[in-house]
A and B are shown apart, each in its own frame.
Chain A
């Protein structure tokens, strides 16, 4: 059971928009700790997609965007492409655990 809750799966057709939620508690996201998002393709290293809730590292397309409100955060992907099919994870910090916490991951399927 992960500390941060994500939907196990989402799907969308090419060109569509999908969102992935990440729900935390008052000891992590709700306290104000930043949320980061990663894209993970099988057999490869996870890739930082969004950091500090809304920021994209250099090279990440602007089709990917993040937001945060209260105890939750969201990752939005617009203009869905086949290459976006992957697992997506959110990450924050938890003060009661004194450590980094990840979400359970969401598998995105491009129909």
Chain B
């Protein structure tokens, strides 16, 4: 059974760095073909893909947020970590991690974690 769960602060201040952790089970990110994405949804807006990390440690980022994002993995802990620098109120959103399958579909998702950016 594949599960993913996001964790991190519910509230961050403007200009701070956000660190989110995705803890998963039911698969290994050291297995060929496995990938994990981070996706967010701001209130009233669409899903927005942020970043992805692959089993071979390849990393991919949203073009518009690339300079602010870092994704990493700890295979031994079954965790993927996303950091986002210089947080702004427009970054207020529910952040999801999701497993990405071989045809780039997101087949399993976490429940999401709401992050509010405030002064």
Which residues of A in the span 79-110 have a Cβ within 8 Å of any Cβ on B? 89, 91, 93, 97-105
Among A38, A57, A99, the one with the most B-chain Cβ atoms within 10 Å of its Cβ is: A99
Q: Are B103 and A34 in contact (CB under 8 A)?
A: yes
Q: How many residues of A contact B (CB 8 A)?
A: 26
Known contacts A45-B111, A98-B63, A99-B62; is-contact A36 B46 (Cβ 8 Å): no
CB distance A46 to B46 under 8 Å?
no
Q: Is A9 an interface residue (CB 8 A)?
A: no
A-B CB contact pairs (8 Å), 28 listed = A2-B46, A33-B104, A34-B105, A36-B104, A36-B105, A36-B106, A38-B106, A44-B111, A45-B111, A46-B47, A46-B98, A48-B106, A48-B107, A48-B108, A51-B101, A52-B105, A89-B47, A91-B49, A91-B106, A98-B60, A98-B63, A99-B49, A99-B60, A99-B61, A99-B62, A100-B104, A102-B46, A102-B48
